[in-house]
Structure 1
Amino acid sequence: MSELLTPPATHSRRPSAFESVATFCLIAALLFFGAGIFVPLVLAILLAFALNPVVSMLNRRLGLPDPVAVILAVLLAMTLLAGFALLAGSQIAHLAQELPGYRQTIQGKIEGLQSQFSGLTWLDQFNGMISNIDAGFGGSSDAPAVTGQMKPIPVSISNELGPLSIVTSVMGSIVGPVATIAIVTVFLIFLLMGRADLQDRFIRLVSAGRYSLTNLAITDASRRVGRYLIIQLCVNITYGVIFGIGLWLIGVPSAPLWGMMIVLFRYIPFVGALIVAVLPFALAFAVDPGWNMLLMSVGLFLIIDLTTANVIEPRLYGTSTGVSPLAILLSAMFWATLWGPVGLILATPMTVCLVVIGRHLPQFQFLETLLGSEPVLSPAERLYQRMLKGDTEDAIDLSDDYLEENGRAALIADVMLPALRLGTTELSDRPESLPQRRQLITSFETVIADVFEHEFADNASVLIVGGRTEIDEAAARLIGLELAERTIPATILPPGAIRQESIGRLDLDPVETLVLVFMGRDVRAQCRYVARRIRRMSPNVRLIAIVTNALAADETAESLHVDNVYRDFHSAVDGISEVATPKSIEPWEEVPQPFAGLGRGDDALGQELDAIAERFGVPAALINLIDDDRHLDDGDAAKLTQLVVTDNAPLIVHAATPDERIGDNSYLVTNGIDFYAAVPLTVANGTTPLGALVLLDYEPHEGFTEDDLARLRQEATKLVENFA
């Protein structure tokens, strides 16, 4: 009936390869042709991520209304950008005035290189190009410029270029950037002012009812992108300051300009800093007649860049972006192709957003798999993949690393057994899967032998057998390894040992516990057959089945005809450890338990204790054993017995004169005991305490003398002789 009431599951059709490619091409074309709209919008969103903490701070700290805080934050950002542009422009203008003076130095270096490396035509071409620098700045390429004697430049006047054309040309060159800045500013203001409403609309649009996941994705993306931008800004500024100061100390012209430019260009992944660094290198080549300035500039750049990229940024960024380096490189190429230089700057933040969306929204999970930095395979899947292709060296390294970090039990339960379970699921019993199964087991045995270095016992009391396949036998070895860690030896046999033709030859004389391990789902028929045969051959053997496959979760001890069923590694090992008997003790031998089960009723020991109490004139005489669970349940009573056993000496307690060793013992106070006298019960010539013989009285008992204590010792000795 429940199946009839359950609505049928709807399965969405996966898009074909052609549909996926067509969708990607359509989106790429839309981004390319809509760059005029999307670029300002994405820039505004990126700046909104960066300025959102500033707006929140102005709201909380200064109590400013939200519109005022937004306007102040935007004005602050625009002021900083304008100051940066103004300073960079002044440095560029100063550099342009000084460039013609470097022609002579460059030509001298080129001529020196020509004399050393004659025959290189590209040096001649480069020298000819340098000779035209002066002409480009108003000089002559034929004669050196003389101060105050510049040749007049011929000027021709044409009516074709009027004032309107000049204004139109100038306006056309500046309208585009100014319009982009204006659009970005307007978008930014509206995004910051309506950020709460926009977030609600975005959640409503993409959540599909999963509000918690979508809200988590937005929060995570905001945190990661904001943290990335702040850290990168700090790193870039520090990088630029150190680089600019270094160039200034070396003597490279316009050092502040190159420091500022490298702050901006480092937002371009991988190559941004190098693009800017080439320019001061060229200046160092042009300014210094020697090579020291160039070599020091290159050395400065290499030291700063390698230290930042390989030491500082990995520690600061950590997992803040969650994007792999390869994904950043591919993303930079993709967005640069679509949107040019701006796409390079926006590549990393946009890729971070895509990875976060893929992490939290299941329908976009492929994005995290393709672009994320987190391992896409679990340790168990990685180990399984290595063993399946026979890469035992890598499998051993992976196992050793996990063993060192998490321990032996975690390696077996969380990595090795799940890897075998993958083999059971993927590799069927059909002949075509046999080579892969053989490769898996061969690699697995090599890993076990190298990582654990353990040899299993023969004729042990615990026998562990793989239920059906060689993968079950491998799992049995893992169970045996953990039992060996608990000093319980085990014998491991393959599934062939319990097949119909060979099960009758099993030597069950030393076996007390037989464990069948099944990793697959076909359990019942084989387990029942083995159980029936073992019951006939040795009825006293305890049968345990370990069934780890979820498809066999309904199997019980009754359905499998065994004594116990365990479904995971830890419970199986614990259960076997509880029932397994140490090898040195035969099953028919009973471990002596002195006084076990005696003295609690009208038996002989109970009657003797009553007689002892009567001879000493007290209401009760007791035996308290240190391994009696009923006695240990009362913690304060057990403390008294433990004190007697530890000191192997009598303990006399009077309520009127408390003993500082026991303090206010709740067992004595709660039960109203005013007198407590105990002597050790010992065996093995008086050297092994078992517990204490105790006298209790609810009234003061001041007349307990040394003679009485000696009599009590004699009574304890007689009890041990007669009842222990």
Structure 2
Amino acid sequence: MRDSPLFKHLSSGSLVTASCFLGLLYFGRDVLEPLALASILGLVIAPLIRAMRRVGLGQLPATLLAVVLVTTAVIGVGTVLAFQLVAVTGDLPRYRAAIRTKVATVRELTERPFARLEAELSAVAPQASSASSTAVGRRGINTVTVSPTQPLPVEIRTPRLTTRDQLARLFSMAWGPIGEAGLVLVLLIFISLEHESLRDRVIRLAGQSEVSRTMRTLGDAAQGVSRFFFSQFAVNFTFGTLIGVLLGVAGVPHAALWGALAGLMRFVPYLGVMAAGIIIALFVAAIDPGWRMAISCIVLFVALEVVVANVVEPKVYGHSSGLSPLAVILSAVFWGAMWGPVGLLLSTPLTLCLVVAGRHVRSLEPVTILLGDAPSISGGQRFYHRALSGDTYTILRDAHAYLRRASFARYCDQVLLPGLALAGADIRSGQIVGVQMTTIRSTIAVVASALTPESGPQPRRPFMRRRRRNVSLLDANLGAHLREMRETRQGRWQGSLDVPLHSVVLCAGLPSERDAILSELLVRALREAEVDARSTTLGDAGDRPGPEKAELVSTVFLPYPQEDVLEQWLAAADILRVHLPQALLATIRLPIDTSTVSQPTIERHVDMVLRSFEEALAFVMPEKTGKNLA
């Protein structure tokens, strides 16, 4: 566990650095907020600037024109929405009666159950106060009620503000956002103008030895943020337009404002669209005397959001954000706590930049692993992890999805065999023993049987006898167990011997579990492609039908030998040459093979050395067999 990226970089120095970084983010937000916002906007408008430069404009005119266009568009949209908002506030008094009626109805519906419950409890509870007063009255004790001194009412009136004071107050309220927007605009212009210079400075700061990695990091970050924002803008603009049109058709006033609000609020991950839906629902409930329009709008909004989030967004940009859904929520919570509303807006691009940097910077690798859209593990590692826990269902689900676009041979090369290699390494090192080893064997047997067409239920036998034989064979040799399952269905020779000449592909191996499982998986991969493949064990004379059937075999595949059985393997290969003189002899040296046997030594005894099951499949496909033999 200590070799994981998290523990590799976890030390007292890294903890102090992380704490200082978090403190800098929080206490330096007044400076970092506009800088981060300007940097992100610079990445967003960078494609527009490059397009203008390709037309023939210089860096300065292209930058200024792009900034002016974006600023004008933002100010124009903001002005239109401001006038719409003023119109809405002016119309609110007309809906006051409907609002009061709805509030009273909701209050009655929510308070009535609690009031009834309180009344029932009061009827059951003993009246202690009444009994006490009755007892005191019977004793004849007179009580005197002393009224406290009434305080004098005091009314505080604020002085009425003059027009000058109101303007000054309004200006002071608007100066903060306007000043920050101006600062962001100035930073945006200078960052866009100094784009090339800033990149050169970052590269120089990283060092000459890290030029390639730094260039990839900057390029991936710029491309990822630009693609994400463009895709998100297209989706949110379409969503807001549809909401505005549908609300307008339904007769809701100021539909354009609510459509724009829905589109803009979707830029805030998850929380924004919920807030927009609540605001629209409250407004529709206020303007309609009944509840039908409000409920219809809520259903429409929710249905459209579900379709966009689960159908449209995966099609448009899928995981282009590079973040998992949980990471998006966590980043929104973190940056919102750090920088408030600006942090919510920038949470996804800022976290995306960290994730992209973690792909190239080792110290940030844990960020990419924890927040990336997919864990940084291979298909073989995922298979091994699932097999170790006996999660056959998940393995088969992923495998069926993989086989819809690829062959079983490629699945073996990229997923199953690498997973078996990891399991074998842990078994040899003693990390897997007992129950876990049994779980892995049974899981692999079930998966291999379920994914290949030759696997199926065995013919009915006495239950106890079949169970004892299968379990003992599975524990001893997984490959022999899978082969025995095929022979039970297809016969001793794994099929008919009345077949055309040179139509059988033989997968042979030494009597070891490694060779048996590799040969059996290769047979199943070839049979899936309708190749007449059969397996045999080298050195077993009873495993061959006889020399008169030698001409049926066109190709023989052997697993690449290990060092400890090299002499036995070479002798078996020479025997195959004698018994099958017309067959092509090939060996498969997989990339995961750890054998140190020299390949030139093997090439003197075989016709070719292949690198994968997929190469073997391509070599013996029926339409290519005649060409290969020629």
Settle same-fold status: TM greater than 0.5. Answer: yes
Asked whether the equivalents of residues 261 and 276 of structure 2 are also in contact (C-alpha less than 8 Å), the reply is: yes
1:76 CA drift (Å): 2.3
The one-letter code sitting in structure 2 at the alignment partner of 1:24 is: A
Among 30, 33, 43, which residue is 2:27 paired with?
Answer: 33
The one-letter code sitting in structure 2 at the alignment partner of 1:464 is: A
Return the alpha-carbon distance in structure 2 between the equivalents of residues 157 and 399 of structure 1: 74
State how 1:449-464 maps to structure 2 within 5 Å.
449-454=449-454, 455-456=486-487, 458=492, 464=508
Return the alpha-carbon distance in structure 1 between the equivalents of residues 385 and 159 of structure 2: 78
SS at match of 2:196: helix
1:515 CA drift (Å): 7.7
1:170 CA drift (Å): 4.7
- Structure 1 residues 491, 77: closer, same or farther in 2, change over 3 A? same
Partner of 1:525: 564
1:375 CA drift (Å): 5.6
Partner of 2:91: 98
Asked whether the equivalents of residues 557 and 565 of structure 1 are also in contact (C-alpha less than 8 Å), the reply is: no
1:343 CA drift (Å): 0.9
- Structure 1 residues 95, 557: closer, same or farther in 2, change over 3 A? closer
Partner of 1:583: none
State how 1:132-531 maps to structure 2 within 5 Å.
169-206=169-206, 209-361=209-361, 364-374=364-374, 376-428=376-428, 430=430, 433-454=433-454, 455-456=486-487, 458=492, 464-466=508-510, 468=512, 470-482=513-525, 486-492=531-537, 510=546, 517=559, 523-528=562-567
SS at match of 1:433: coil
SS at match of 1:464: strand
The one-letter code sitting in structure 2 at the alignment partner of 1:392 is: T
The one-letter code sitting in structure 2 at the alignment partner of 1:280 is: I
1:118 CA drift (Å): 6.2
1:78 aligns to 2:71 (yes or no): yes
State how 1:34-49 maps to structure 2 within 5 Å.
34-49=28-43
Return the alpha-carbon distance in structure 1 between the equivalents of residues 279 and 431 of structure 2: 66
Q: Deviations over 1:196-215 (max 9, x none)?
A: 11121122223652333432
SS at match of 1:203: helix
1:158 CA drift (Å): 5.5
Partner of 2:611: 568
Asked whether the equivalents of residues 507 and 534 of structure 2 are also in contact (C-alpha less than 8 Å), the reply is: no
Query: Which one is further off, 48-57 or 565-574?
Result: 565-574
- Structure 1 residues 47, 518: closer, same or farther in 2, change over 3 A? same
Percent identity of paired positions between Structure 1 and Structure 2: 27
Return the alpha-carbon distance in structure 1 between the equivalents of residues 558 and 42 of structure 2: 62
- Structure 1 residues 195, 576: closer, same or farther in 2, change over 3 A? closer
Larger Rg belongs to: 1
Return the alpha-carbon distance in structure 2 between the equivalents of residues 289 and 81 of structure 1: 36
1:293 CA drift (Å): 2.4
Name the structure with the higher helix share: 2
Aligned length: 525
1:187 CA drift (Å): 0.3
- Structure 1 residues 575, 175: closer, same or farther in 2, change over 3 A? closer
Q: Deviations over 1:504-539 (max 9, x none)?
A: x977894889987468xxx3333436767x799999
Asked whether the equivalents of residues 510 and 569 of structure 2 are also in contact (C-alpha less than 8 Å), the reply is: no
Instruction: Report which structure shows greater RCO (CA 8 Å, sep ≥6).
Output: 2
1:349 CA drift (Å): 1.6
Return the alpha-carbon distance in structure 2 between the equivalents of residues 209 and 411 of structure 1: 38
Asked whether the equivalents of residues 203 and 214 of structure 1 are also in contact (C-alpha less than 8 Å), the reply is: yes
Return the alpha-carbon distance in structure 2 between the equivalents of residues 30 and 473 of structure 1: 60
- Structure 1 residues 175, 528: closer, same or farther in 2, change over 3 A? same
1:24 aligns to 2:18 (yes or no): yes
1:33 CA drift (Å): 0.9
Return the alpha-carbon distance in structure 2 between the equivalents of residues 77 and 536 of structure 1: 76
Partner of 2:45: 51
Q: Deviations over 1:673-717 (max 9, x none)?
A: xxxxxxxxxxxxxxxxxxxxxxxxxxxxxxxxxxxxxxxxxxxxx
Q: TM-score, normalised by structure 2?
A: 0.71
The one-letter code sitting in structure 2 at the alignment partner of 1:48 is: G
Return the alpha-carbon distance in structure 2 between the equivalents of residues 243 and 440 of structure 1: 52
**What are structure 1's unaligned runs of at least 5 residues?**
1-12, 124-153, 579-625, 633-724
Asked whether the equivalents of residues 483 and 489 of structure 1 are also in contact (C-alpha less than 8 Å), the reply is: no
Asked whether the equivalents of residues 390 and 440 of structure 2 are also in contact (C-alpha less than 8 Å), the reply is: yes
The one-letter code sitting in structure 1 at the alignment partner of 2:518 is: A
Partner of 2:121: none
The one-letter code sitting in structure 2 at the alignment partner of 1:451 is: L
1:391 CA drift (Å): 2.1
SS at match of 2:190: helix
Return the alpha-carbon distance in structure 2 between the equivalents of residues 473 and 19 of structure 1: 51
Q: Deviations over 1:137-190 (max 9, x none)?
A: xxxxxxxxxxxxxxxxx995769x999987775554233212211210110110
Return the alpha-carbon distance in structure 2 between the equivalents of residues 44 and 293 of structure 1: 42
1:23 CA drift (Å): 3.0
